[in-house]
Amino acid sequence: MNIYKKIKDFLDKYNSSENKYIRLISQFISFGFVGVLNTLIYLVIYYIFVFINPKLYIVGGAVGFIVSVINAYYLNSRFVFNDSSEAPKDRETSRIVKTFVAYGCTFLLSTGLLYIMVDIIGIDEKLVPILNLFVTVPLNFVLIKFWALRNETNE
Domain that residue 126 falls in: 3-148
Check whether 154 has a pLDDT greater than 60: no
In a domain, 153, yes or no: no
pLDDT tens-digit map of 114-125: 889 888 999 888
Helical residues (DSSP H) of the chain, grouped into ranges = 3-15, 20-52, 57-75, 89-115, 128-143
In a domain, 155, yes or no: no
Structural domains of the chain, count: 1
Mean pLDDT value across residues 128-132? 82
pLDDT tens-digit map of 55-109: 988 888 889 899 999 999 988 888 888 765 666 677 888 888 999 899 999 889 9
Check whether 155 has a pLDDT greater than 90: no
Task: Tell me the whole-structure pTM to 2 decimals.
Answer: 0.74
HSE-up (13 A, CA, CB side) for residue 110? 20
The pLDDT of residue 111 is: 85
In a domain, 138, yes or no: yes
